[in-house]
A and B are shown apart, each in its own frame.
Chain A
Amino acid sequence: MSEFVSVTYAAGERIFSAGDVADQLFFIQQGQVELLNAEGKVFTTLSAGESFGEQAFLSGGIRGASAQASGEVTCLKISSEQANQMMAGTSPLLVPVFEALLLQLNMNNALRAGNL
């Protein structure tokens, strides 16, 4: 993944906010990233080797959560354009599978939070 841009965020820095247009996907190389729900409550913490911001794979995707650096964190950043290039030539089923997986993730987060 050497063709992607590496970027470092300071502790507490906001990487993106819920409602933003999703135009970049991130892979954590070093450090931790917190994902926050609409109320600003941290619902998961991600570490090196994990990705976030997958809405960037979908045309016109909107951020469903916010992300901020837990401490100093370094990520590889992949643009929507690069993501679309990667998806070109793969099975057309990949898009609905991604969409469904993101929806199941959102569903499970809501169910774990005990939403009624």
Chain B
Amino acid sequence: MTTLSASFEVDIAHLHELGVIDPSSARSLEIFTSGQLNSNERLYFSLWGSKLLSSVSFEAKKKLFTQGEEVSVAYFIVSGHLLAIQGERIERMGPGSVICLAEGLAGLPSAKTVITVNAVQARIIPLHKVDSFIPHLPPALRDTIRTNVLRTLGVKQLPKGVL
């Protein structure tokens, strides 16, 4: 029998308790700047309200990525839940999850098959646009992205010529 191995989500109920119910209200911004949010909550809030990322909705049981396939887009999950399957391992991902960004930046295929559990709202991270500006960044910024991609993927090296 296959069982759930791990799960991740930002505590949306906690954000709601604090009064953060939308990313652009004055009350929400006040709480954001007050220092009451932890690191992941702050990142969630900022990405949730980003005007640079377009939105997309998926219905339940939609396959977003297939293990081994090329990655051309990455997602930040605003609401809803997904399952990521890699062999016998199954992970549950909820609001605040980021899917396939490091893989896409590294030019690697998706390590997991990802399927929505219920209706999902997400923001699209357009990898083709990101790939076009990364080569022109100052070296310190490029190195920082590279280090974070390595740490995110849990590897020591990337394919030659990437990042």
Docked pose: A4 CA to B140 CA in angstroms: 11
Question: How would residues 86 to 112 of chain B score, 1 for a CB under 8 Å from any chain A CB and 0 otherwise?
Answer: 000001010011110110010000000
A99-B47, A103-B43, A103-B76 given; A113·B148 CB < 8 A: no
Docked pose: A50 CA to B148 CA in angstroms: 9
A-B contact count (CB 8 A): 145
- Residues of B1-54 contacting chain A, CB below 8 A: 4-8, 32-33, 35, 37-40, 42-44, 46-47, 50, 52-53
Question: How far in angstroms is the closest Cβ of chain B from A104?
Answer: 4
- Nearest A residue to B103 via CB reads A104
B39 touches A1 (CB 8 A): no
Docked pose: A61 CA to B145 CA in angstroms: 17
A114 touches B6 (CB 8 A): yes
Residues of A within 8 A of B (CB): 1, 4, 18, 25, 27, 44, 46, 49-52, 54-55, 57-58, 60-64, 78, 86-87, 90-94, 96-108, 110-116
Residues of B within 8 A of A (CB): 4-8, 32-33, 35, 37-40, 42-44, 46-47, 50, 52-53, 74, 76, 91, 93, 96-99, 101-102, 105, 125-126, 129-130, 133, 136-141, 143-145, 147-154
Beyond A52-B147, A101-B145, A111-B7, 18 extra complex contacts between A and B, CB < 8 Å: A44-B151, A50-B147, A55-B39, A58-B46, A62-B38, A63-B39, A78-B140, A93-B133, A98-B145, A99-B46, A99-B47, A100-B101, A103-B98, A104-B102, A105-B102, A107-B98, A108-B102, A111-B8
Please list 23 pairs of residues, one from A and one from B, whose beta carbons are closer than 8 Å in the complex, sorted by A's number. A18-B39, A49-B143, A50-B147, A50-B151, A51-B144, A51-B147, A52-B147, A64-B39, A64-B40, A86-B141, A90-B137, A93-B52, A96-B46, A100-B43, A101-B102, A101-B105, A102-B39, A102-B148, A104-B97, A107-B98, A108-B153, A111-B7, A114-B5
